[in-house]
Amino acid sequence: MRGDDGMKLSEVLAGDGLHLSFEVFPPKQDTAFEKVREATEKIAALKPAFVSVTYGAGGGTSKYTLKIAENILKTYGVPTMAHLTCVSSDRDTVHQRIEDIKQAGIENVMALRGDLTPEMIVAGDQPRDYHHAVELVRELKADGNDFCVGGACYPEGRPESEHLRDDITAGKVNAMDLVNENINTKFFLELISLSSNNLRNLYGISIQILS
């Protein structure tokens, strides 16, 4: 589904002015779904620039991610961005999720690695289908898919990285230069350290930065 002005965030955010968005956390229990759906519809009625719908740790709320995102998009015409994680999933599951997103008419996906489980941390770098978000980004863009793909970044560096400069450089080479069209940051206090001008001048990053 596409609105007259397009439903891709790259198009929505290209306009001037302030862009206000909301992030929705799907319920963990079936009994809470209706309350969350009602709340999201009230949010959608405010006509934000877009609504982001999370995936839950390990994909624990994934069945509701798509339901909520599709309902907001098709009922209120508000662009939605469905989150998708990969580290705890096998390749077949991820491929099915991508197909489900396409069938729902959702054009924006937040591609995330996802949190490592305690078992994964203990096992270390053992063979699994996915290790990094960039692998998911490649699959989202494969086979002629036309998703607007967003990525995540840590303003002060990932907990697993030793140096912020190395972290940003790796992110640029692996994901931003590949296909990502926007990056979303966690909350941060020192805005100057992650300003668009600083990132462009220091690292050559020019994609949209959302916070």
The question of whether 139 is a catalytic residue gets the answer no
Burial of 44 (0-12, 13-18, 19+ CB in 10 A): buried
SS3 208: strand
The tokens describing 40, both together, are 């999201």
Q: Which of 11, 23, 139, 156 is catalytic?
A: 23
Reference 133, options 92, 81, 64, 86; nearest CA is: 86
- Strands of 182-185's sheet, edge to edge? 21-24, 50-53, 80-85, 108-112, 148-153, 182-185, 208-210
- Whether the CB-CB separation of 78 and 72 falls below 8 Å is answered with yes
Residues forming the active site: 23
